[in-house]
Amino acid sequence: MSSVSATTDEEASAKAAAADVDSGATTIFDKIIAKEIPSTVVYEDEKVLGFRDINPQAPVHVLLIPKARDGLTQLSKAEARHEEILGHLLYAAKKVAEKEGILHGFRVVINDGPTACQSVYHLHLHVLGGRQMKWPPG
Ligand code: TR5
């Protein structure tokens, strides 16, 4: 039996309604970057950190974040100066998939804003795999 939890439409709506909008405040991810809160790190370089999601939605569910948020609370806040880190994050996602043995099939997701159920306002890529993915996503 899979330990992966499904999200119903009602739960997704509730999560969206409860999600904080971007306040610019520091988030739990700053504490993870500072290693003040433990996480299971699967990838790290000078610019990004990849760690396992605490509530995995697939056998492999890794979050990839820039170590310096630099105003990138969400993708819709991206500016020209962020081009390099955005490309770096995407290439790091490929390296995570390779490391996790899911290069044959994986998904990269960015939830942007309450309508998309973003709950942490520090840009992050979800790297998901290890099971057959479905389309469309919920
Ligand atoms: O909903 P969005 O796209 O913003 O994704 C935020 C993700 O952060 C969710 O998938 C959460 O499960 C995940 N998350 C939240 C916390 C957390 C985490 N992943 C790893 N470790 C975590 N800690 C220690 N604390 C969290 N609050």
Closest CA to 69 of 37, 30, 118: 30
Q: For ligand 1, what atom is nearest to the CA of residue 51?
A: 20
The ipTM (two decimal places) reads 0.99
Residues, the chain: 138
Q: How far is the CA of 86 from the centre of ligand 1 (A)?
A: 20
Domain ranges (residues) in the chain: 3-129
Marked catalytic residue, from 61, 82, 122, 124: 124
What is the pLDDT, as a whole number, of residue 14?
67
Pocket lined around ligand 1, Cβ cut-off 6 Å: 28, 37, 39, 53-55, 63, 111, 117-120
Per-position DSSP letters for 77-118, written without gaps between them: G--GGGHHHHHHHHHHHHHHHHHTT-TTSEEEE---SGGGT-
What per-residue confidence (pLDDT) applies to 23? 80
Span 102-108, average pLDDT: 98
Supply the pLDDT for residue 106. Answer: 98
The pick from 37, 53, 118 for probing ligand 1's pocket by mutation, whose C-beta has the most ligand atoms within 8 angstroms, reads: 53
Return the residue whose CA atom lies nearest to atom 26 of ligand 1. Answer: 28
d(CA 43, CA 93): 9
Answer yes or no: 61 catalytic.
no
Going from the C-alpha of 125 to that of each of 2, 106, 112, the distances in angstroms are: 23, 12, 10
pLDDT of residue 3: 45
The answer to whether 40 touches 32, Cβ cutoff 8 Å, is no
pLDDT given for residue 120 in this prediction:
96
Strand, coil or helix: 75? helix
Q: 10 Å Cβ neighbour count for 134?
A: 8
**What sign has the CA pseudo-torsion 85, 91, 94, 98?**
negative
> Which CATH number describes the domain made up of 3-129?
3.30.428.10
pLDDT at res. 10: 72
- pLDDT (0 to 100) of residue 77: 97
pTM of the shown model:
0.91
Query: Residue 15 above 80 pLDDT?
Result: no
Q: Which atom of ligand 1 is nearest to the CA of 38?
A: 24
Is the pLDDT at 21 greater than 80, yes or no?
Answer: no
Model confidence at 9, pLDDT cuts 50, 70, 90, reads low
Averaged over 81-93, what is the pLDDT?
A: 98
